[in-house]
């Protein structure tokens, strides 16, 4: 039993040594990381915490990345909203939750998602397409079960209940 514990401690020790980076190495790695795709400040802070970078160094590195335009939360949030609406078919509620998880400020979330609130007819059209596709994939014969599944699906995608209920009625009538 002691041999297993020693092996586990040795493995854990190696992993923790590998994770610790110097502030300069962390800065270089984050520059490469942020150059490949849009990243949020929350993503960068989480990585640095995992790498064992101290609080003061994390703040300094983040400020440097922001000054050099490697990380820009507004640019990230706008790209996130575009990607999740067009490619993933998400609604406004799921997008807001995702942005909160990425560490984006609430005021910025409101500002970038305001565009989605203004595009409500487009959102309903996109929801109608999603629900119609989902309806075709369901093998259920019971109308109530189909309705329940479609409502759950629409809600899980982050759309408003009122919109989902309206569109489900339309889809079931077609």
pLDDT digits (tens, 9 = 90+) for 107-152: 999 999 998 777 766 888 999 999 999 999 999 889 999 999 999 9
Segment 19-22 long-range contacts (CB within 8 Å, at least 24 positions apart): 19/50, 19/51, 19/52, 20/51, 20/52, 21/51, 21/52, 21/53
| Domains of the chain, residue spans | 2-67, 73-118, 120-173
Across the chain, mean pLDDT equals 89
Percent of the chain with pLDDT over 70: 88
pLDDT digits (tens, 9 = 90+) for 62-99: 999 999 999 999 999 999 999 999 899 999 999 999 99
Give pTM, 2 decimals.
0.78
């Amino acid at each position: 039993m002691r041999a297993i514990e020693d092996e586990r401690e040795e493995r854990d020790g190696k992993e923790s040594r590998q994770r610790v980076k110097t502030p300069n190495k962390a800065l270089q790695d984050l520059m490469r990381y942020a150059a490949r795709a849009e990243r949020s400040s929350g993503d960068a802070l989480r990585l640095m915490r995992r790498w064992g970078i101290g609080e003061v160094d994390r703040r300094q590195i983040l400020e440097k990345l922001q000054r050099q335009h490697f990380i820009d939360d507004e640019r990230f949030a706008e790209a996130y909203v575009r990607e999740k609406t067009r490619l993933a078919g998400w609604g406004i509620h799921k997008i807001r939750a995702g942005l909160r998880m990425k560490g984006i400020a609430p005021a910025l979330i409101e500002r970038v998602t305001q565009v989605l609130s203004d595009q409500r007819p487009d959102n309903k059209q996109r929801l109608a397409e999603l629900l119609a596709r989902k309806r075709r994939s369901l093998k259920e014969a019971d109308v109530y079960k189909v309705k329940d599944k479609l409502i759950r699906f629409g809600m899980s995608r982050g759309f408003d209940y009122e919109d989902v209920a309206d569109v489900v009625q339309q889809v079931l009538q077609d």
